Amino acid sequence: MQDSGAFATGIDLEKEAIDYARTNYPGPEYILADVEKYTAAYDWVVSFETIEHLKEPENALNRFRDSKNLIVSTPNQLFYPFDPKKFEGDRFPHIKHYTPMELEELLYLCGWDVVKKYCQTLKTSRVVSGVDGMFIIFLCR
């Protein structure tokens, strides 16, 4: 197999998640860190199902600005309405779900331009263009 020259780094707040990733997905570097406090520059940042857990997602989104591109996903409030009772007892509960407009505004305020919008009907569904799904995924520069 030819080396693509790509290098991946996984970041998580949970040691157990890092250990699981190292065991099951060898290859990338894994760092135990809080994305709201960690700063590094990458070509791409992929933040899947993260910002809905953060009290101040602006902290992480602003720290990601040292990187060139961002792919961010979060539950779509229009198709997956936030219900705090669903997340009671979770160590890191959801704090907010976003409408597509709210997510785009948040990203813009943090210096990101949304260039493509995608969604998934379910977590296991194909990713398709648009915002009419349970999870929204925005590609930003």
Distance CA 41, CA 73 (A): 20
Residue 6: both structure tokens together: 């790509």
Lowest-pLDDT range of 4-18, 46-60, 118-132: 4-18
Whether the pLDDT of residue 1 is over 60: the answer is no
Contact 131, 137 (CB under 8 A): no
pLDDT for res 7 = 85
Mean pLDDT to the nearest integer, 51-74: 96
Whether the pLDDT of residue 46 is over 90: the answer is yes
Whether the pLDDT of residue 2 is over 90: the answer is no
Cα–Cα distance list, 141 to 33, 45, 76, 117 (Å):
24, 10, 21, 12
Q: Looking at the domain 35-140, which fold is it? A: Rossmann fold (3.40.50)
3-state SS assignment for residue 77: coil
Mean pLDDT to the nearest integer, 66-85: 97
How would DSSP label each residue in 78-127? Answer: TTS---GGGGTT-SS-----B-HHHHHHHHHHTT--EEEEEEESSTTSPP
pTM for this predicted structure: 0.91
Domain ranges (residues) in the chain: 1-33, 35-140
